[in-house]
Amino acid sequence: MRRKRRNHSPAFKAKVALAALKEDQTLSELSQRFDVHPNQIQTWKKQFLEKADCVFGDHEEAQKMREVDVEKLHAKIGQLTMERDFLVNALKL
């Protein structure tokens, strides 16, 4: 019988990935310890290593870029709202 799909928190994934990076236990041991498939542990370990540069990287720069994107989106929403209002009023005539 298949077990129900589980969603793991980012903190749990990081904990498992760090344990895998220590390499003091085999994947099989980690799998039993955390009740997660060994392939999943490998995947989380790979993702952890790929994104490790974000911890020390341009987090502030990425935040500024998101703020700029939000401003652009708000401007676009305003423009579309005005266009919609204009068209609604034009159709009422």
Contacting residues for 36 by C-beta, under 8 A, at least 6 apart? 8, 16, 30
Range of the domain at 76: 58-93
User: Of the candidates 87, 91, 90, which has an alpha carbon nearest to the alpha carbon of residue 79?
Assistant: 87
Per-residue confidence (pLDDT) for residue 3, from 0 to 100: 75
Q: Does residue 30 share a domain with residue 46?
A: yes
57 pLDDT above the threshold of 70 = no
Q: Does residue 64 share a domain with residue 30?
A: no
16 pLDDT above the threshold of 90 = yes
The count of domains in the chain is 2
What is the pLDDT of the chain when averaged over all its residues?
89
In a domain, 48, yes or no: yes
